[in-house]
């Protein structure tokens, strides 16, 4: 009898070890493969419409950690915006910095976004060598640092008004959240930013009320499990009128209103000049406005 239990216990231990090893291998594969097996084409700034001389307005969408631009949501969002604007006036694009975003630790991706990809995006915008009147940059998660650092350069090198849209901005522990959107504009240049965030599984790292943005909390209109990706899916829906088809949010009612103000794409110059003027009156550094069902 004793021998039977001894053998049974030994077998259980062996099974536990095998299951643990398999679990670790699967987890490692899930984390490492997206980081190192990603295709490397379509880096940098790409446009979804043809460039022409008359375009004085620019909108660029960028991604966060372990994401890319081409064949991913930033390209889809740029195309959705193109359908809402006059392509003679607007240049619509997405920025791919997946080389720096493909890291095991999200802190490394945020550092790359802040120190390298922001300047890279600004450099490519400046290479367009055109007299831009308005620049709207949209960034999710780590991409918040890309658009913020890019805007700090662009405001010194152009006369364009700057609009930043932060989607669940990721602020690592040793980063200064107040640095996001801390842009010194000349008196004749407008800067305004909006941020949409959820209180989700990424915890306090992605739910800051930013000093240099008008903050909007969209947690309550997400599904039961709150998602770090919901803010970009919702923002996409405010452009296209419906959630992305692969998002499991198809049947959800789109809510954009809080206290009589419509949020999301409606706050951009792309929606209309009047909308943008109204946005400039909305206070930044606020305690988040909550959008409710």
Pick 75 or 207: Cβ nearer Ca ion: 207
Q: How far is the CB of 222 from Ca ion (least distance, A)?
A: 10
**φ, ψ dihedrals at 70, nearest 5°:** -70, 140
Q: How far is the CB of 226 from Ca ion (least distance, A)?
A: 8
Distance in angstroms between the alpha carbons of the first and the last residue of the chain: 63
Pick 200 or 270: Cβ nearer Ca ion: 200
Secondary structure E strands in the chain? 44-47, 57-62, 90-96, 134-140, 161-167, 191-197, 214-217, 257-258, 261-262, 289-290
Does 149 help bind Ca ion (rule: CB under 5 A)? Answer: no
Evaluated on CA atoms 226, 231, 236, 242, the torsion sign reads positive
CA distance 243 to 80: 11
User: Residue 230 CB: number of other CB atoms within 10 A?
Assistant: 24
Stretch that binds Ca ion, among 98-106, 119-127, 191-199, 235-243 (CB under 5 A): 191-199
Q: How far is the CB of 228 from Ca ion (least distance, A)?
A: 5
Question: Tokens for 124?
Answer: 């490519």
- For Ca ion, the nearest residue by Cβ is 206
Q: How far is the CB of 10 from Ca ion (least distance, A)?
A: 46
Pick 194 or 207: Cβ nearer Ca ion: 207
Q: How far is the CB of 64 from Ca ion (least distance, A)?
A: 11
Number of residues that bind Ca ion (CB under 5 A): 6
Q: Interface residues for Ca ion in 83-112 (CB under 5 A)?
A: none
Binding mask 192-231 toward Ca ion (x if CB under 5 A, else -) reads -----xx-x-----xx------------------------
Question: Tokens for 144?
Answer: 């918040």
Question: Tokens for 161?
Answer: 């008004």
Q: Which of 168, 217, 227, 270 binds Ca ion (CB under 5 A)?
A: 168
Pick 130 or 226: Cβ nearer Ca ion: 226
CA angle 108, 114, 116 (to 5 degrees): 85
Q: How far is the CB of 88 from Ca ion (least distance, A)?
A: 37
CB 209 within 8 A of CB 215: yes
Those residues whose C-beta lies under 8 Å from the C-beta of residue 54, and which sit 6 or more positions away, are 88, 89
CA distance 199 to 225: 10
Question: Tokens for 106?
Answer: 């999200």
CA distance 216 to 194: 8
Pick 57 or 62: Cβ nearer Ca ion: 62
Pick 67 or 168: Cβ nearer Ca ion: 168
Pick 194 or 200: Cβ nearer Ca ion: 200
CB 103 within 8 A of CB 65: yes
Q: How far is the CB of 206 from Ca ion (least distance, A)?
A: 3
Pick 62 or 158: Cβ nearer Ca ion: 62
CA distance 139 to 145: 8
Q: How far is the CB of 98 from Ca ion (least distance, A)?
A: 21
CA atoms within 13 A of residue 251's CA, in its CB half-sphere: 2
Residues that bind Ca ion (CB under 5 A): 168, 197-198, 200, 206-207
């Amino acid at each position: 009898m004793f021998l039977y239990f001894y053998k049974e216990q030994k077998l259980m231990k062996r099974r536990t070890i095998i299951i643990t090893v398999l679990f670790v291998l699967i987890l490692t594969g899930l984390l490492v493969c997206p980081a190192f097996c990603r295709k490397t084409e379509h880096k940098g700034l790409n446009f979804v419409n043809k460039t022409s001389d008359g375009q004085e307005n620019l909108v660029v969408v960028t991604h966060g950690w372990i994401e890319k631009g081409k064949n991913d949501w930033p390209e889809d969002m740029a195309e959705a915006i193109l359908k809402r604007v006059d392509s003679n006036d607007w240049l619509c694009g997405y920025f791919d910095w997946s080389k720096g975003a493909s890291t095991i630790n999200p802190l490394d991706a945020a550092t790359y976004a802040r120190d390298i990809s922001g300047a890279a995006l600004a450099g490519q915008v400046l290479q367009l060598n055109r007299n831009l009147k308005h620049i709207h940059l949209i960034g999710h998660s780590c991409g918040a640092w890309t658009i913020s650092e890019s805007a700090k350069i662009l405001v010194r090198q152009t006369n364009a008004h700057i609009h930043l849209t932060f989607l669940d901005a990721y602020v690592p522990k040793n980063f200064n959240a107040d640095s996001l959107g801390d842009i010194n504009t000349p008196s004749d240049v407008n800067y305004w930013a909006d941020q949409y965030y959820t209180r989700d599984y990424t915890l306090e790292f992605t739910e800051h009320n930013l000093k240099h943005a008008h903050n909007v909390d969209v947690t309550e209109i997400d599904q039961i499990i709150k998602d770090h990706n919901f803010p970009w899916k919702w923002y996409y829906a405010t452009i296209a009128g419906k959630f992305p088809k692969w998002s499991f949010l198809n049947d959800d009612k789109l809510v954009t209103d809080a206290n009589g103000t419509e949020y999301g794409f409606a706050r951009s110059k792309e929606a209309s000049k009047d909308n943008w003027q109204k946005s400039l009156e909305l206070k930044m550094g606020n305690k988040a406005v909550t959008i409710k069902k």
